Structure formats: C-alpha cells, structure tokens
A = this chain, B = another copy of it.
Amino acid sequence: MKMNKGVEWAVHACTLLAPLGQGRGLSLSALADYHGVPVPYMAKQMQLLSKAGIVSTSRGQTGGYTLAKAPAEISLWDIKQAVDGATPAFRCTEIRQQGPCAVPRKDCKAPCAIAAAFARAETAYRDLLCSISLVDLMADVSGHASAQHLADIVGWYQDNVTVLPAKSG
C-alpha cells in the first residue's frame, strides 16, 4: 500500500500557507523554492488542491496560491483525498460469487464480511485524518521549531508573501 508521494508536498504547502490568512498568498515558484522541490511537480499538487477547493489561485504579477478555507476547516483527510483520491485501498472483487460454492448474486446485498472488515479499518484511518486540521499541524510544527528556524521562516515570509488582488465578480 503506497500513498501518492505528492500528498507529503501538498500537506507541507498547505501548512506553509495556513498562517497567512485569506488575501495573502505565495507564488508557485516560492512554494516550490521553500520546499526545495521542482516547480512542475509542486504545480501538479497545487492544481489538485485547487480542484478540490482547498486552495484558490489568482493570476498575474502578484498572483499566487492562498487557502480557500480557514485552516481549521481543512483536514489531513481533505488533502490526502485531493491528491491521492478516496478510492478504498481494499477493493472487493466479489470472490464469493465465484467457484463451485458461489453465493448467488441475490444473496450478496450486504458487503462480503472480508470487505466489510477492511472498510472498518479504512474508516478508522479516515476518521483519524479527519480529526487533524491544519491548525493542529501549525501548532505542532511551531511548538517543536527552534527560535532560529522560526526566525528563518518569518524572514522568508517577509520576502515572499504577496498580497493577492481582490477577486472580481
């Protein structure tokens, strides 16, 4: 079982955007530069986040990405789902309907016990990721950061945060 690697970059990018508040953002190149990752790959994750309504983007010289919702309303599950999809990891192919003792289709209205068990585990996984918002992550990151690291970030924000143009229409 392997998650799309883009999830890690997407969560880092959202965590970096989280303290800015709406109306302020970061350009794609700044986001890529901060994380030391190639622009095209960062672009791909930001497009997926945008499509899922997690970030919004404005174009032009002062354009950039900003969170489309309050950080408390964006969970790790939202980001995981945006980049990696929400298809269950365990996919039931209805093996019980095959072979010499096949269960007739009409008796298969309830999910197979095996599929149901994996679904319960995936629900536990999802519930935990739903319970962690970007606010929790921000607190965790800044609570563990050294004074020097926090100073570095503040300096970087000063050089890179852009005020986004007011939305028209």
Chain A positions within 8 Å of B, measured between CB atoms, are 1-5, 7-9, 11-12, 15, 33-37, 76, 84-85, 87, 89-93, 95-96, 98-103, 107, 110, 113-118, 120-122, 124-129, 132, 136-137, 140-141, 144-146, 149, 152-153, 156
Question: Which 3 A-B pairs give the minimum distances between C-beta atoms?
Answer: A36-B98, A113-B140, A36-B99
A153 vs B85: C-alpha distance in the bound complex, in angstroms?
38
CB <8 Å contact, A129 and B121: yes
Chain B, Cβ-Cβ closest to A92: B8
CB <8 Å contact, B117 and A132: yes
How many copies of this protein are present in the complex? 2
**CB proximity of A116 to chain B, nearest CB, Å:** 8
Can you spell out 22 A-B residue pairs with CB atoms less than 8 angstroms apart?
A1-B89, A3-B89, A3-B118, A5-B93, A7-B90, A8-B93, A12-B95, A36-B98, A37-B98, A100-B156, A101-B149, A101-B152, A101-B156, A103-B149, A107-B146, A113-B144, A114-B137, A118-B129, A120-B132, A121-B125, A122-B125, A125-B125
CB <8 Å contact, A2 and B5: no
Contacts of A37 in B (CB 8 A): 95, 98
